[in-house]
Structure 1
Amino acid sequence: MTTTMTPKSREGQVAGFPKEQAVALTERNAYRAKSIRRTGTDESPVLFHFRKHSTGMHSYVHTMEAADGTEQEIRPADFKDWEIVESRYPGYLEDLYGSACSAYRWNSFDPEERARTDIYRHERQLCADLLSIPEEKREQYKDGYRKRLADWFGSLSRCASPAVTGPAGFDRRKQEKAEQACQNKQEELESWRERFLAAMKRMQDKARPEEEKQEEAWQSLKKDIADSARTVLELDTGKIRGYNRALFVSSILNKVMTYVNRGEVEIVQKAVDFIRNCNEGVKKPVITPRNRFFQFPEMAARVRERLLAAREEENNEIRFDGGRLVWNRQADRLQILFDDIPDDARRKELKSNGFRWSPKNKAWQRQLTMNAVRAAKRMLNLQNT
């Protein structure tokens, strides 16, 4: 038996929305409705739960929640009597609903429901992504996301299923090509999204205070060291067996050596102090005091001095036929700038030697090391310069 609800206001529930802000509730926009009220009334809004329950494939139940927490089913046929007064999502993709329906016209028995599912899923993903993107980049992301999603819908609209169209005269080979093209468009959207979000994370990390980045790096290293040191101590006390103690000690040395080579003196010193604390009160030290590990802070200080001196030097370059080889000491990169776009063979050679294209610097580059210089001179036939 269905319970009749009288909407009432309750604490924490938005009420009294101006009528001009409300929009009609429809199957097309129901996915973004948060609260609704009867059209043309001043009743307090009630919470709307889109697809609160599933009753089978592509079959869902929507509910609205009364002030006392009881819920009542609301059918799509009754949406016309209600209006949205508060939304969960802005509706960035709602105008793509028609394209989404067309995308499933030949390959689904319920294209409208599949379209609503896709719009809901992608709108939710888009809004979640925007939370991690700087405000000045959000419009660019929305435009790029919408374009690639529309391209995918367009490609999907050329895919057909013999179960929907009928098997007579069905061109299987043509459909295989259409399905591959559709998959490529979907992968393009996913790949672009991953690259964009990764670039935003790098940009935000670069803008973070140096102290915050240092602390995060230390906490990560500390966890790795603690795990290895704990295993070493358990091996020494006989709690566990069957592992090679030397490998765990080497793991600690190698992880800390990474920061030594970067000149991260403070982090290296914290790592050494941490191991000293681990050595206190145990019969056998995790790392013996004679080990070079305890000289790492001095080694890191010398590396830092060399890096600072190198960055203060002026950049220099060598001309070659078709471009320039640049020592960019401020960016700590060896860069190759070609006058013209290199051919496929040259690009493969660059990648195999560790060089990657930098759109920002318009150059093929890798970290400035002696190995990088030797590789570049060998590729560009500059060994005698």
Structure 2
Amino acid sequence: MPTYYPIDETAARRAKEMNSYHDYKPGSATAAYRQEVDKATAIAETQKARVDPMYHEKIDRLLDTYARKLAENINQSHAIAARCPSVLITGPANFPVRKKEKQNRAADANMKEWQEIQGILARIRGVGTAGISSDDENALQKLREKLARHEREQVEMKAINAYYRKHGTLDGCPLLSAEETEKIKAAMARDWRANPKPYESYLLSNNNQTIRSVKARIAELEAKQSSPAPEGWSFDGGRVVMNREENRIQILFDDKPDAGTRSELKHAGFRWAPGQGAWQRMLNQNGVYAAKELTKQWTVSAEQTEITTEQPVSEEPCSEEPAPFSYLQQSM
């Protein structure tokens, strides 16, 4: 049974009155919301039937996140719709055009957030079917199983090649079934090489590279789990948050950053997430380092500004009062 989050029926009724002559049907907003959650629940249950039970908890967590964020988005949508009436309700005379434009911009942002929330359904459908994500709480276990499988394959391929070198045939190889033997023979017969082998060098090399990559990922995740979890920090104009629930490092600003700052954020791998109200990227060592470099730059600028404004007072009388320093305000 899914968890339903509350829908503000008063705001829903008010939004209806501000935009329609028809009466609001009590409970209709809640019913529509629950219908969408029920659809998401059906998707989640279908995915559970397809994948290993070890993924079920993650699917349930994503479903709950979807239900919670959808309720928040719907309530916000109703609040925005109630800010300014439709021109069909008020008529064109003295219509608050500026207020309506502001409302439309808020509605557009709310719609973008809704689209991001719908993306959670795609994440539910993909659980257990793609590669091993660092977001997965069972990532280490899966990576170790993957490593063991590839190491076993490496040993077997070398042993089969050695058997073929010694006997000149794969018949009787204890590591292969009759079906596997015939399949490898057929592949060797199609090979363009003069003296093909059951497993060519590039196959062994590729598999060995996979083993090294998996080992590196295991070491990275183990180091992340064993090291103290980083904490967030503040900077001039905002703060950095370690959102462990989303596995994201997030940068939140007090005001909208300017174009130059937004460009720096994108260059450092951060992307704007309307649903979170933050610039974010994966919570890992690289993400923490990038955030520290960015905020250090902004903090340094603020400190330099402070030093510049605290010049010693000259003993000589000034004939002209200096203009107030405004670099900080211009750079925000």
TM-score bracket, normalised by the shorter chain, equals 0.3 to 0.5
What TM-score, normalized to structure 2? 0.43
Q: TM-score, normalised by structure 1?
A: 0.38
- Higher relative contact order, structure no. (Cα contacts within 8 Å, ≥ 6 residues apart): 2
Higher helix share: 2
